[in-house]
Amino acid sequence: MNPKAVGLTHPFEPVWDSRSRLLILGSFPSAASREVGFYYGHPRNRFWQMLEVVFEQPVPMDRSGRIGFLLHHRLALWDALSSCEVVGSSDASIRNAVPNDLASILDAAPIARVLANGQLAGRAAKAALPPRFASYLTVLPSTSPANAAWPLARLSAAWRSALLEG
């Protein structure tokens, strides 16, 4: 184990209900997200901005409002990893990753597709998805501020087709 790495267990419950049709998966919450207590809490992460652009409506700033927004649009949100060792928020530093039990949502909601937020989330989701759901996975560009090559307009266009299909 890297001496600076910290072993962590996922701190949030998944967001979903019996109407959720898309499952959006990140890899593991960033330090900023863990600090604010909810998904995509880093102020420069463009996840919530991207959803505003795609759905053409503002996303509330508070946790309960964001949950309501997701559920209204029939979106489920979780991360592919339940625990790992990580240095700060660096996806590249993640070691000893343990996948979440994605079947608990996939078997209980009418999920038609799984959307991975970035390459690491895609690899983690591929490992965590039960084989019968492997074909559901689409890997999309990361909304992380580290993915500066994708400006918000281009990012939103890529996500729009996946979020609004079917």
Chunked mean pLDDT (size 10), the chain, 166 residues: 72 96 95 94 96 98 97 97 84 87 96 96 94 96 94 97 85
* Domain spanning 6-164, CATH architecture: 3-Layer(aba) Sandwich (3.40)
At residue 2, the pLDDT reads 57
Which tokens is 129 given? 């998805």
At residue 33, the pLDDT reads 94
Q: Say whether pTM exceeds 0.75.
A: yes
List alpha helices for 22-140, DSSP H. Answer: 31-36, 47-55, 63-72, 103-106, 119-128
CA dist list (Å): 130 to 34, 67, 81, 139:
27, 26, 14, 16
Domain residue spans in the chain? 6-164
Taking CB atoms within 8 Å and a gap of at least 24, the contacts of 42-46 are 42/89, 42/144, 42/145, 44/145, 45/143, 45/144, 45/145, 46/143, 46/145, 46/152, 46/155
Indicate the length of the chain as a whole number.
166
